[in-house]
């Protein structure tokens, strides 16, 4: 006799004579236990800083220019001045200073870079003070506007300590380069420090290449900005040696100060309990190599 291989479902008959239908017995099934959901916290590896140091640099440079113009006192030392209504804050004649600024003697008095004073007069402090002086209104506006546009973004991403160090050290590096190749004229301006910020942007893009979405577009855009700013160095009264020195210094410092963990790395403190963290190392090998080589070059240089 053949048997049905399918599983038997318990049946029960209704006790009412008016209803002869047969129903399956209700089988109680154990409740399905859902696993406890894992609560992930927001991972904030990259803290957003409130930029204040870069605006402070802009204010400091502007105040130093006002003080320089006060010391210059064009009506007392020149026959004719530009914008006489400004009194002692009026500018030197265009033939003497086309940038709307003080005389060379005043800039030298305030701390402009001059190789003879540094070498023969033991005034090495001029390598630093020259970065806070400007030759004129046009010079000041060009540098400070560029610093605001470029520097605020970097300070928001990396904080005031790193950007402040890059700015000051790059300015010093630009002064050294200028002293080596521009020994007959005086040099002033924050251009070396500004180009150091530009150089650090390029090295930051290179060392943190894996976390950028539009890599090629970002790289090409930055190269265009750098090329345009370097091209300004061919204009008269512009110290391109300070630009190059500051750029190279900032480029090396960017590998040292602006390195970030590679994409996909998770810090152990952000991993939920009972789960292992990613096996990826915090930094890629090429990042470590660039960091070590750049640090050695900065120290040796």
Find out whether 174 and 246 touch, Cβ atoms under 8 Å: yes
Q: Per the structure block, which two tokens stand in for 41?
A: 């916290």
Handedness of CA 144, 145, 147, 153 (dihedral sign): positive
Q: Give the separation between CA 146 and CA 198, rounded to whole angstroms.
A: 10
243 annotated active-site: yes
Predicted local confidence at residue 160, as pLDDT:
94
pLDDT exceeds cutoff 50 at 17: no
Checking phi first, is residue 83 left (phi over 0); if not, alpha (psi -120 to 50) or beta?
Answer: left
Q: Among the options 103, 170, 175, 191, which is catalytic?
A: 191
Distance from the Cα of residue 139 to its chain's centroid: 22
11 pLDDT band, cuts 50/70/90, is very low
Tens of pLDDT, residue by residue over 202-217, are 999 898 887 777 778 8
175 annotated active-site: no
Residue 253 phi/psi, 5° resolution?
A: -65, -30
Tens of pLDDT, residue by residue over 62-111, are 999 999 999 999 998 888 899 999 999 999 998 888 889 999 999 999 99
Q: Give the separation between CA 249 and CA 203, rounded to whole angstroms.
A: 11
- N-term to C-term CA, the chain: 99
Predicted local confidence at residue 228, as pLDDT:
75
Q: Per the structure block, which two tokens stand in for 214?
A: 């539009």
Q: Give the separation between CA 230 and CA 227, rounded to whole angstroms.
A: 5
Question: Domain 52-261+280-300 belongs to what topology?
Answer: Rhomboid-like fold (1.20.1540)
Domain range list for the chain: 52-261+280-300
Crossing angle of helices 160-181 and 240-257, rounded to 10°: 150
Calculate what percentage of the chain has a pLDDT beyond 70.
76
pLDDT exceeds cutoff 70 at 18: no
276 pLDDT band, cuts 50/70/90, is low
10 pLDDT band, cuts 50/70/90, is very low
Find out whether 246 and 258 touch, Cβ atoms under 8 Å: no
Instruction: Produce one character per residue of 80-117: b if its CB has 16 or more CB atoms within 10 Å, e if not.
Output: ebbeeeeeebbbbeeebbbbbbbbbebbbebbbbbbeb
Q: What is the H or E stretch that residue 187 is in? A: none
Other C-beta atoms closer than 10 Å to the C-beta of 197 total 26
Predicted local confidence at residue 28, as pLDDT:
57
Give the DSSP per-residue string, 126-139: HHHHGGG--SSHHH
Percent helix, strand, coil in the chain, to 5, is 55, 5, 40
Record the pTM: 0.78
Average pLDDT over residues 104-123: 91
Q: Among the options 114, 134, 139, 243, which is catalytic?
A: 243
In the chain the beta strands, taken as DSSP E runs, fall at 11-13, 22-24
């Amino acid at each position: 006799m053949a048997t049905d291989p399918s599983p038997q479902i318990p049946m029960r008959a209704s006790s009412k004579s008016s209803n002869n239908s047969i129903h399956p017995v209700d089988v109680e099934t154990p409740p399905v236990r859902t696993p406890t959901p894992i609560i992930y916290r927001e991972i904030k590896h990259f803290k957003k800083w409130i930029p204040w140091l870069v605006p402070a640099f802009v204010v400091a440079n502007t105040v130093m220019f006002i003080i320089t113009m006060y010391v210059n006192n064009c009506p007392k030392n020149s026959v004719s001045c530009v914008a006489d209504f400004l009194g002692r804050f009026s500018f030197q004649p265009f033939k003497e200073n086309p940038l709307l600024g003080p005389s060379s003697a005043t800039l030298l008095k305030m701390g402009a870079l001059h190789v003879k004073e540094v070498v023969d007069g033991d005034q090495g402090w001029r390598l630093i003070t020259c970065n806070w002086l400007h030759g004129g209104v046009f010079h000041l506006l060009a540098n400070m506007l560029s610093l605001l546009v470029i520097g605020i973004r970097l300070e928001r991403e990396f904080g005031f300590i790193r950007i402040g160090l890059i700015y000051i050290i790059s300015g010093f590096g630009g002064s050294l380069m200028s002293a080596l190749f521009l020994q007959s004229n005086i040099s002033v301006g924050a251009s070396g420090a500004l180009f150091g910020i530009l150089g650090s942007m390029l090295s930051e893009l290179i060392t943190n290449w894996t976390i950028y979405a539009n890599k090629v577009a970002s790289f090409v855009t930055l190269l265009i900005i750098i090329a345009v700013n370097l091209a300004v160095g061919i204009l008269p009264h512009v110290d391109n040696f300070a630009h190059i020195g500051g750029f190279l210094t900032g480029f090396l410092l960017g590998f040292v100060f602006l390195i970030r963990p590679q994409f996909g790395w998770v810090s152990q403190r952000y991993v939920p309990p009972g789960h292992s963290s990613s096996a990826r190392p915090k930094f890629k090998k090429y990042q470590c190599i660039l960091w070590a080589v750049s640090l050695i070059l900065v120290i040796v240089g």
